[in-house]
């Protein structure tokens, strides 16, 4: 059995942090989908990006390939900037 990597994912549309435990082989795209589902965001997932350590990371990379360490913080945010009201 592969060990699970615990991470915290901040979803800015919901302004909520989601704790997840995923295998190191899981892709960042899978992480994004799970985080959006957990926060009940129903918009198209392709309209969102994942950032780790301040930089955008590709959805096709695995957690291991992206260098994600246990208890890391990631951010899921909209690709389009929205005006602040």
Q: Has residue 85 been placed in a domain?
A: no
Q: What pTM, to 2 d.p., does this model score?
A: 0.89
Q: How many domains does the chain have?
A: 1
Residue 24 lies in a domain: yes
Q: Which domain holds residue 51?
A: 4-78
The CATH number of whichever domain residue 44 belongs to comes to 3.10.20.90
In tens digits, what is the pLDDT along the chain, a chain of 85 residues?
578 999 999 999 989 999 999 999 999 999 999 999 999 999 999 999 999 999 999 999 999 999 999 999 999 999 987 777 7
Q: What is the DSSP string of 6-70?
A: EEEEEETTTTEEEEEEEETTSBHHHHHHHHHHHTT--S-GGGEEEEETTEEE-TTSBHHHHTPPT
């Amino acid at each position: 059995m592969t060990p699970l990597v615990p991470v915290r994912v901040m979803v800015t549309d919901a302004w909520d942090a989601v704790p997840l435990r995923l295998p190191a082989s899981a892709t960042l795209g899978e992480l994004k989908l799970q985080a959006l589902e957990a926060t009940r965001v129903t918009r198209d997932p392709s309209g969102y990006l994942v950032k780790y350590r301040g930089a955008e990371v590709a959805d096709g990379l695995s957690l291991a390939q992206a260098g994600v360490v246990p208890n890391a913080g990631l951010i899921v945010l909209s690709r389009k900037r929205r005006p602040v009201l």
